[in-house]
């Protein structure tokens, strides 16, 4: 989705450098939520 692309563009690089594992877990959780909503 566009929102995810924007989120990653804005926050993914900054936070991803610091703690990529946590961000990866968060994004996976978000993707699960989005899939459930559909």
Q: What was the pLDDT predicted at 8?
A: 74
Q: What are the structural domain ranges in the chain? A: 2-37
Contact 23, 15 (CB under 8 A): yes
How far apart are alpha carbons 33 and 18 in whole angstroms? 24
Whole-prediction pTM value? 0.34
Q: Half-sphere exposure of 7 toward its Cβ, with a 13 Å CA cutoff?
A: 10
Backbone angles phi, psi at 33, to 5 degrees: -60, -45
- Model pLDDT for residues 1-38, shown as the tens digit of each residue: 678 777 777 776 665 455 566 667 888 888 888 888 76
DSSP, residue by residue, the chain? -HHHHHHIIIIIHHHHHH-HHHHHHHHHHHHHHHHHH-
């Amino acid at each position: 989705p566009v929102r995810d692309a924007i989120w990653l563009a804005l926050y993914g690089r900054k936070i991803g450098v610091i703690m990529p594992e946590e961000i990866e877990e968060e994004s996976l959780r978000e993707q699960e939520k989005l899939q459930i909503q559909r």
